[in-house]
Structure 1
Amino acid sequence: MWDRAHKCPRSRERSPVSDADIASWPAAPRGIAFGGDYNPEQWDERVWLDDVRLMGEAGVGLVSVGIFSWALLEPAPGRFEFGWLDRVLDLLHRHGVSVDLATPTAAPPAWLYEAHRDAWVVDADGRRLGPGSRGAMCPSSPAYRDAAVAIAGALAQRYAEHPAVVMWHVHNEYGAPVSQCHCEHSQQAFRAWLRARFGDVDALNAAWGTAFWGQTYASLEQVRTPAAAATMLNPSQRLDYARFSDAELRECFVLERDVLHAAARRLPVTTNFMATSSPGTDYWQWAREVDLVSNDHYLTAERDDAHVMLAMDADLTRSLAGGRPWLLMEHSTSAVNWQPRNLAKRAGEMARNTLSHVARGADGALFFQWRASRRGAEKFHSAMVPHAGTDTRVWREVAELGADLERLAEVAGSRTRAEVAVLWDWESNWAAASGWHPSVDLDQRERTEAFYSQLWRDGVSCDFVHPGDDLAGYRLVIAPQTYLLSAQSAKNLDDYVRSGGQLVVSYFSGVVDEHDAVHPEGLSGPLGATLGLRVEEFAPLRETQQVRLTGALGELSGDVWAEHVVLDGAEVLAHFADGPATGGPAVTRQRHEAGTAWYVATRLGACGIEALLAAVYAEAGVVTAPPAGGLEVVRRDAAEASYVFALNHGEEEQELLVHGTELLSGAAVAGRLSVPAGSVRVVRTDPHPSRR
């Protein structure tokens, strides 16, 4: 029985198994892994032989198995039926296909729902969410945890030494479809978490500022999860509840991971992240717990810049992996099924998407799923084997992609490097989402996308970092809108600047501390000294209002936001020419002995960000390489070679100046490389001088 007394609100230590005993990557397949989710339980066994034959034709070397199969593996409590899975794994092994074996704990069986109605998720409005959809049970429920550990242990005991199994896949997309629960188990667990975090109710009252609105608690037993209430809930309570909810899910993962690590054959364990699309999950914390980082990514197909957002997601995933190779666990061959309009991918787009992930550090690319489902909620989701069969463009492109990835095998293990970093902090995102802020138009995600998109247009590779990370290796760090910033993280940024770094800070950053309390220094917080200014008052704009900026950066415009900024050493690069802060500083620069801090007090459009970053690049020594006609160029480096990926997202053929060998064709390249519209070329070049 899982013991609540052993709970801790912070990341636990790794399992007692030494990290040195556990690989950080599966031993097979070699090179770039290729495959997808395989759900043979949806099909008659006669189809399985056709499946493995086609996997051979497509070059599939790795499949994920068993993700949603709990009801079949354990049809009644404690009664396991593994015969069908034995046959599947044996068949795959005979045909040279390795297996990422899943624990099916994202799909609780009907018997578990029936026996433990107390474990049903309760949402903020008090509704109990039962079975019949994509599975979800309360992560704080002892019954769910016990059952999850039991099925994971049974799988580990039976299959850890099966030659087909090369890694473990715990659960599926933690936090989807729900990441928070308000049932009685959650209430009790939340209080235990608060007791471990604060110690006593007095410390909690101080941290949450409960003197406001008469919310003071006399004991921790009076505290409940922040569910539906008459009006605005305490934002500090909501922030800690978000931390708690994420920690509960992570504990569920750790419980299963430790069971798998204890198996006779110690294989790497992962769970599939959703890097930029899972707002309730702090993947900086999760990345410390997995043996290798894996990620699911799906285009928002209607966006014209979907390929740029793909690049952002891949860069964040690589950053979570600490620069090490990572696995693209899921993406789609064509259309998905849950967006308002599910656009099919155009010819060549599937390969371009896949190789963009590889260019940015992925050493494997898998799809959801192998064969298109005939039934269920995702029957219109694309697959490697589509409903129309193998005499289709999608299948031919799948097989061609498998051959291309085999040709790129030598790229595996090389690294994608960056000299620019963008701050990304899930806790700040949670605090920013609490409501009742000066403008409904404040949007951390929008500002992050805006700055990232300009970096992409400038051909500048970037990593993502937490504000408390070591920043010494970066020439430039950008804080697009980091609302929550602890004093310790603010000092880290200040140390970075004073040591020679270039820091760009956009508005509404550093306003509150880790408890969502306004910093004692005021609205500019502890960053004010770094920036050489203080923010006296926010001056948000009307919905359609714009402001003009004049100064050294040229004639620019902003919208959404303005501020009354008082200088304390900073120089002004642009003034507000009109609006509520007319005449005041809009863009500033504070030079320190070694580095420089830049501040932006309005929402700049694309032209404004372009002008600002051009000035910053010049001081930071960042070299730009803007993609011509949509030609994205990304580099991966190894000790003895470098690899240039050229991805043409445009409608016309482009040329790239490069020398080496084009790996997809084997052709020598002596200066000019032609990249047809919609195509990808990968060139092995001499090592980058700085990497020798």
Structure 2
Amino acid sequence: MNKYSILFIITILISGLNATAQEDNRFFPEKDLITTGIYYYPEHWNENQWERDIKKISGMGYEFVHLAEFAWFKMEPREGKFDFDWLDKVIRLCARYNLKVLMCTPSATTPAWMRTQYPETFVMDGHYIRAEHGTRGLGSIVNPVYRKFVATIVTEMARRYGQNKNVIGWQLDNEPDAKPDYSPSSQEAFRQWLKNKYKTIEALNAAWGAAFWSQWYSDFDQIIIPNTSLVGWWGNNPHALLDFKRYLADAQAEFLDFEATTLRSYISKAQFVTTNYTAVSTGADPRRTNKLDFATYTAYPNGGTDNIGEQGFRLGNSKVILFAAEYYKMAGGVSGVMEIQPGPVNWGNYNPLLLPGTVRMWLYHAFAAGGKLACSYRFRQINYSAEQYHAGVIQPDGITPSQGGEEYMQFIKEMKELRKQYKPGVAMPATLAARSTAVLWNLENYWTIDRQKQTSQWDTWNYPVKFLEIAKSFGAPVDVVPETADLSKYRFVIVPAYEMADGALVKKWSEYVANGGHLIITCRTATKDRMGHFWEAEWAAPISALIGAQVKATDMLSNNGKGEILMGSAHYSWNNWGDLLAPDKGTETLAVFDNQFYKGKAAVVKHKVGKGTVTYIGVDTDDSKLERDVLRGIYDGAGADTENYPPGIYVYWRDGFYVAVNYSSDSYTMDMPETANIIVGEKTLQPGGVLVWKLPSYIKN
């Protein structure tokens, strides 16, 4: 391919990436960059303190206040009796002090009268014990009585605030998690879900492999939710459990869509509708919702884990925002952090003070990754109840900013300066567009792998994050995308452990490669069909032609096992998972196993298809050195110059700004042109540091 062809491809990629960035600016104008907010719970405090608090929020620079998500008891103190006068007052105070309002539906915290009078509205656990009043997220979202009460309170709120110009949007529920529910309502809903999916009991028996252990059903009414609490983890049918996870995710998504539909009958089109998933959500699936404008996430990076280096436990888990900020763009194309901690939490293994600058770094990370809003939990540290030790931006005296509060104010002040320097329509530099990368991910693959890991060393959730980290270490712009995404926008597509696949998906991958894309597939891909059955064929049969090799067998070593791999003259270690590959004629072997009884067998292969390449990495290593070197060779071979950022150093380009953050325990000096204009920070990033810079437009970068 000549240089003009490469430049043409990069130009197309740039326009595609810019189109993605411009998908939805109705609610968040580009010039604003990011909008800041804070959680406030007026129901927790004396009314004579409300104005003082709202005035303080405004004075700190926040732009919106997050209200009412846990206040059902206050809005409907008795069944059918509503009181919004107190909330009206708070909203008027917000308007007086130039603060917008993000309103929340309170479905996560049902009032005591509901549990007393309608106990059937609560979930049941795996021992068929009904949940009790006293915490959040225990309503049975498929129970019709609970649904009726939710519809009523949401309708009352929407009628009252849906046309209020000071209300910018709505958050549905709180951290929806597709909680397992074994209640009678859920049992019936699960059976109905199965009837809709399979139509006949014969089709279900085939899909579930019900001939095994006499699990055969003659009628849908015989089916109960598969229950690992009573049957035992190892004895459960993996296909039935997969369907249970799908049902829970569908039920959660439908519940959110139900709330959104109720709202939209009354609210202004200028008000957005979103929800706040947890950063690591292994149950709820953002792809399944249809009525949200976009999805947001909660981020608690610091929860008593060691992380990177000696100071890592004070800097937080670098993977949290890294993955969530990309993953939740699947629903609506944009995202933001709805709930981020401003200091120590109360639920970690231990809850240390943060290294000064850490909260500000997290905020910049969320911004750098494209976040449209950044909202902190919470304004005042509560003086009582379950979260007393959970920090706020204001200390328990109700007046003094915490360290996190000071850092939030610094971020807001600096963001105002970035807004002044923002210029619309700046194209992503060609060097970055040449590295454009997608990581393909489907939560269902997490479910099926996590159910049958085959080795305790398999790190299910962090496996796709590994490849996101590698691509970011190259300085690549990376999206986490569903299989329905337009892959042609990316020069590199990584498919990590995509266990369940079908012919249509493999065809899409093949077409992407034939048209010039570079596809990286890893072990545990296409080993099963969409129901989690092995193919009645060779191992991973659907991708054999694509990767130009057959997977002949798979090995896993003990915790202390020392597998060796040779790639060129470099040696690598592995002990988690190893696919033994038999390459076809014309397929290049990049790495081989260098010990064990199968020494010399291929471990990594590369296959040319049309204008592009497919690389299959058949090994999962702990240190990721092999995977990193394989990927670097692919990027370099495609003419994409790469960086070499160390672990914990993440560099982004957004809206004309370069942004770097440092989660590591060591300082790092950024290599940049002498003409770079540093706006925030210094060239050498300290641990927890932030660096923002721009390049003159005439510099080719």
TM-score, normalised via structure 2 length? 0.87
Give distance in 2, aligned partners of 1:531 and 1:553: 24
2:146 is equivalent to residue 144 of structure 1: yes
d(CA) in 2 for partners of 1:573, 1:103: 54
Partner of 1:525: 541
**Does residue 271 of structure 1 match 2:259?**
no
| 1:196-235 → structure 2 map (5 Å cutoff) | 196-227=196-227, 228-229=230-231, 232-235=235-238
User: Comparing 507-516 with 448-457, which one deviates more in the overlay?
Assistant: 448-457
In structure 1, what is the Cα distance between the partners aligned to 2:180 and 2:380? 32
The 1:438/1:492 distance shift into structure 2, 3 A limit, reads same
Change in CA separation of 1:138 and 1:522 when aligned onto 2, cut-off 3 Å: farther
- SS at structure 2 position matched to 1:548: strand
The residue number in structure 2 matching 1:623 is 641
Equivalent positions of 1:79-98 (< 5 A) are 79-98=81-100
CA distance in structure 2 between the aligned counterparts of 1:567 and 1:627, rounded to whole angstroms: 33
- Counterpart residue identity of residue 617, structure 1: Y
Shift of 1:498: 2.1
Q: Supply the distance in 2 between the matched residues of 1:220 and 1:24 (Cα, whole angstroms).
A: 46
Alignment partner of 1:480 is 2:496: yes
- The structure 2 residue matched to 1:424, chosen from 412, 430, 441, is 441
Partner of 1:285 in structure 2? 288
CA distance, structure 2, for counterparts of residue 330 and residue 607 of structure 1: 34
CA positional deviation for 1:235 = 0.9
Using the aligned pairs only, state the percent identity.
25
Between the aligned partners of 1:36 and 1:412, the Cα distance in structure 2 is 28
* Structure 2 residue 496 is the aligned partner of structure 1 residue 494: no
CA distance in 2, matches of 1:676, 1:603: 32
Q: Which amino acid aligns with 1:652?
A: S
CA–CA separation in structure 2 for the residues paired with 1:124 and 1:168: 33
Partner of 1:122: helix, strand, or coil?
coil
> Partners of 1:113 and 1:84 in 2: how far apart?
24
CA distances 1:354-381 after superposition (whole Å, capped 9, x unpaired): 0111011012211001111111211111
Where do residues 20-419 of structure 1 align in structure 2 (5 Å cutoff)? 24-25=26-27, 31-175=33-177, 179-227=179-227, 228-229=230-231, 232-266=235-269, 267-275=271-279, 277-286=280-289, 288-301=290-303, 302-305=305-308, 306=316, 308-317=318-327, 319-321=329-331, 323-324=333-334, 326-387=335-396, 389-390=399-400, 392-409=402-419, 419=436
C-alpha separation between the residues in 2 aligned to 1:526 and 1:315?
32
Letter in 1 for 2:416: E
Q: Which residue of the partner structure matches residue 652 of structure 1? A: 667
- 1:562-618: per-residue Cα shift (whole Å, max 9, x none)? 233222343222211212432211111112222111122222333212221121112
- Spell out, residue by residue over 1:86-115, the C-alpha distance to the aligned partner (whole angstroms, 9 max, x if none): 111111111111000001001011111112
Please say if 1:608 is aligned against 2:608.
Answer: no
Residue 18 (structure 2) aligns with: none
- Residue pair 2:497, 2:522 contacting (<8 A) in 1 also: yes
* C-alpha deviation, 1:29, in angstroms: 11
Cα distance, 1:653–1:555 mapped onto 2, change above 3 Å:
closer
Over 3 Å counting, the alpha-carbon distance change for 1:392 and 1:507 in structure 2 is closer
SS at match of 2:338: strand
The CA deviation string for residues 416-461 of structure 1, in whole angstroms up to 9 with x for no partner, is: 87711112210111111223x5323333323223322222333223
Per-residue CA deviations over 1:475-518 (Å, capped at 9, x if unaligned) read: 11112222222332222222222222212222122111110111
Q: Check 1:505–1:119 CA distance in 2 against 1; reply closer, same or farther (3 A cut).
A: same
SS in 2 for 1:271: strand
Q: Secondary structure of 1:444's partner?
A: coil
8 Å Cα contact 1:61-1:98 kept in structure 2: yes
| Aligned residues of 2:661 and 2:689 also touching (Cα < 8 A) | yes
Letter in 2 for 1:613: L
Query: What's the CA shift for 1:521?
Result: 3.3
What amino acid maps onto 2:410 in structure 1?
E
2:653 aligned to 602, 625, 635, which one? 635
Cα 1:69–1:481, aligned 2, differ >3 Å: closer, same or farther? same
Q: Distance in 2 between matches of 1:689 and 1:423?
A: 33
Deviations 1:153-210 (A, max 9, x none): 00001111223211111111101xx611011111111111111111111111122221
Write the distance in 2 (CA, Å) between the matches of 1:454 and 1:490: 24
Cα-to-partner distance string for 1:234-260 (whole Å, 9 max, x where unaligned): 111111111111111111111111111
1:656 Cα deviation from its structure 2 partner: 4.4
Report if the CA contact (8 A) 1:295-1:317 is conserved.
no
How far apart, in 1, do the equivalents of 2:663 and 2:116 lie? 51
Contact 1:32 1:408 in 2 (8 A): no
2:603 match: 586
For the 8 Å contact 1:539–1:581, the answer to whether it is kept is: no
- 1:573 to 2:583 alignment: no
CA distance in 2, matches of 1:338, 1:400: 27
- Give yes or no for contact 1:37–1:368 (8 Å, CA) kept in 2: yes
Q: Which moved more, 1:535-544 or 1:213-222?
A: 535-544
Distance 2:246 2:76 in 1: 32
SS class of match (1:292): coil
CA positional deviation for 1:690: 9.9
Residues 675 and 681 of structure 1 are in contact (CA less than 8 Å); yes or no, is this contact kept in structure 2?
A: yes
Contact (CA 8 Å) 1:652, 1:677: kept in 2 or not?
yes
Is the Cα–Cα contact under 8 Å of residues 473 and 646 in structure 2 kept in the other structure?
A: no
What is the alpha-carbon distance in structure 1 between the residues aligned to residue 441 and residue 273 of structure 2? 25
Contact 2:273–2:292 under 8 Å retained in 1: yes
Query: For residue 612 of structure 2, what is the aligned residue in structure 1?
Result: 595
Checking the alignment, whether the CA contact within 8 Å between 2:299 and 2:321 is kept in structure 1 is no
The Cα offsets for residues 375-415 of structure 1, whole Å up to 9 and x where unpaired, read as 12111111111226426533332322221222233659889
Preserved CA contact (<8 Å) 2:31 2:419: no
CA RMSD of aligned residues (A): 2.7
2:564 maps to amino acid: R
Confirm whether residue 459 of structure 1 aligns to residue 487 of structure 2. no
CA distance in 1, matches of 2:170, 2:239: 37
AA in 2 matched with 1:102: C
The separation in 2 between residues aligned to 1:206 and 1:67, in whole angstroms, is 44
Gaps of 5+ in 1: 1-21, 666-671
Structure 2: unaligned runs, 5 residues or longer: 1-23, 309-315
More displaced 10-residue stretch of structure 1: 471-480 or 414-423: 414-423
Distance 1:402 1:613 in 2: 38
Q: Equivalent of 2:523, from 480, 483, 507?
A: 507
Separation (CA, whole Å) in 2 of partners of 1:562 and 1:272: 37
| Residues 1:263 and 1:423: Cα distance change in structure 2 (over 3 Å) | same
CA distance in 2, matches of 1:681, 1:602: 36
Report deviation, 1:264. Answer: 5.0
